[in-house]
Structure 1
Amino acid sequence: MFESPQPAAAPRIWEVGALCRAIADALEARFNPVAVRGEITGFSRASSGHCYFSIKDANGQLRCAMFRRAAGLLDFSPRDGELVEVRGRLGVYEARGDLQFIVESMQRAGQGALFEQFLRLKAQLEGEGLFDPRRKRTLPVQPRGIGLITSLGAAALHDVVTALRRRVPHIPVVLIPAQVQGAAAPQSMVTALRQMYALAEGEAPADGGTTPVVDVILLVRGGGSMEDLWAFNDEQLARTIVQSPVPLVSGVGHETDFTIADFCADLRAPTPTAAAELVAQPREVWLGALDVLADRLESAVQRQIDLRHQRLDQAAQRLGRPSGLAAREQLRLARCAQRLRHGMLLNLERLALKNKALEADFAQKTARRIAQQSDRLERARLRLELLNPHLVLQRGYALLTDSHGHAVTSVGQARLGDALRATLADGVLDVTVDHPRLL
């Protein structure tokens, strides 16, 4: 007789959490502690101080977490592409059921393959002079147009456009899209750059339209792992960048990310937004500069006006008051009269000593001399009369004096309520200062 087969035993039904813990226990018993060698990828440091990354080689990849205590003991800054040896515990992150390696220590094990390739190309291009600082050009202060090369689906496009619209909405932006990640990205960016170079050199676009003049070019992409940014380490792209006819700014990744494109560009920005800000001085800065120039111009004009007023005051002081000039002329006339009288006395004394025969001739000469002097005296009197202050007063002017009889020639000599006297052609007026005011 054949015995009928016994039914198979039903498998144990596990709770999910219990199964995860059981697997973790099995891993703990079978492997831990464990050391792994691999290449870092996707490294990030959280605000808590914990570090998250993966270790990979050609055949596999393992998620890793390094908590703040262990990360604080590192003597170097891990970067994507570095080959490292890590020691720790293999376990299961039960909240997601993921296999996870908790790293307790890390040390360099040499450079990763990508990083070694990066260093070789960097050394080659640097030896050829592509990174020479003397080749770098300064950015235009006020570009007429800004060229932008990035992916249409990249967050960097939104960041750059937002920054440019906020700071320089009046400057046109020319966008030529390109792939910025993947195997086809280097050639795509090379093609886009060459198209932008043609526009920067003034060539008309293929569609026959009008395009603004491009004075500076932005080549941007957001952050990512070393593999994500690898397209910017392409040799052909590097050589194309240094051929730019206008200054070129690279804004690739985050502040700690460096690519071959950054070294070839005229200027490297830490982020795409920073790249936009480097070529876009805010409109408020220029308006402020115009205000400063306007203030300087106004001050210069006012100084010239003040200088002309000062020269006018000096000319008026040199001209002086008519009464002062008349006094000087009267003094000169008195001196002339005194000299005339003295000369006449001398002539009379000489006449008394001369021969009577000469009296008639002497009298004639004396009369002629007297007539000449009288005529001279009359001319002097007429000049003096022309300088008479009363003639000036008859033309509508007034001589203003204070209570001491001193002439008042400036508003600064009078104060509110002072009693002054105004001498007119036919009399005097007593006046009181009501509101002194400069012209």
Structure 2
Amino acid sequence: MTNSQQIYTVSSLNQQIKVLLEQNFISLLLEAEISNLTRASSGHWYFSLKDDQSQVRCAMFKGANRFVQFEPKNGTQVLVRAGVSLYKPRGEYQLLVESMQPAGVGQLQQKFEALKQRLAGEGLFDPAEKQSLPVNIRKVGIITSAKGAAIHDILSILKRLAPNIEVVIYPCLVQGEQAAPNICQMIELANQNTELDLIIVGRGGGSIEDLWAFNEEAVAYTIHYSRLPVISAVGHETDISIADLVADIRAATPSAAAEMISQSSVKIKNHLPGLSHQLNRSIERIIALNQHKLNRYELRLNQQDPVKQMFNQQQWLDEKLNQLHHHLLHKKQTKQTQLNRLEQSLWAAHPKYQLQQQQQNLSGLAARLNTALQNQFKSLSYQHSLLIEKLQAYSPLSTLQRGYSATFDNQGNALHSVEQVKPDEIIQTRLANGSIFSKVTSLNVNTGSQSD
């Protein structure tokens, strides 16, 4: 072992082997016998496929096994289509089965694949060669069994969705050795009908053997060279036939084909109310236009009638007289209004009226003066009361009433200091209810010394 050699983990090794298997064995066919079949609660199937020498583990998931149309059991010989993968946790390679059929159809399946590959190489499946459906489908040819469920389903859906589409049935065999030639014959016959817009070829579901007529080479070429567009509606959704691949359009079922061609009729049906409304509006416009023309012609004819012309002149004269009457009445009303204004102006200038006005003004001014004097008196009285209250609040008498006294010298000056008086002077002490006259015998200052 060299240092440059890569060292794998088991998981990385299994992952690379898984990728190699899945890339190189994408899809293969295998015919073998089922053994160890287990149906898990999840819906998946797990089993082995074996022959007399070997076996391989297989898994078929629920999404694929729901299309299996028979009951597989241990010991059943089957043909499966599968891809190869690897289950990493156990390192076991296994087949992931995509489809399963009884082993008896193996040869048919190989024949199908071979024809499919050859026709594809010839370009019969090329989309560029396919025709589109007509926009307006009026008449359809249906090539199928006259007694099968397919024709019943198609007619039932067309009757419900597109009753305007006319149907021509070309009954044919859809199973057995003579089915393929019969189908080709009916396709060619339908192409001779110049009134048809397209053809539906198909039948209901069945096994691969039942559907094999639609995998025949002759049917494929006849559909490819059809002048009319061909819709193939063979079997169920999971059934793919050569006819489906060659046809211009493939429908999953006969019912789906009927619904497909009904779409144009459904669209037209949905547009009918709008078209009807547009038609009604167009008719109404035409009627209105013609009515307008008729009215104009009647007017011109009436204008030429002498009797009506006389009536028109009389009507004109009546209108003029009426206008003159209204004019004179308006003029009279205007003059009357002017006269009333002049009378009011004259009355307003009369001395008696002026005197009354002045008296009224004088009375109003006297009332206003009286009101102003009363308001002024009230205001001054209020201010006087306020001043009295303030004076009483600051009056010395109020202070004396509280037990205080005031002292004055013999000149009536208020004494504030002992230095303002001398011994033997007469002083006056004012109390709340009178005065006391005293003679100074001694003075006492704050320092505590006395002076005679």
TM-score normalised by L of structure 2? 0.44
Higher relative contact order (CA 8 A, sep 6+): 1
Larger radius of gyration: 2
Higher helix share: 2
TM-score normalised by structure 1 residue count: 0.45
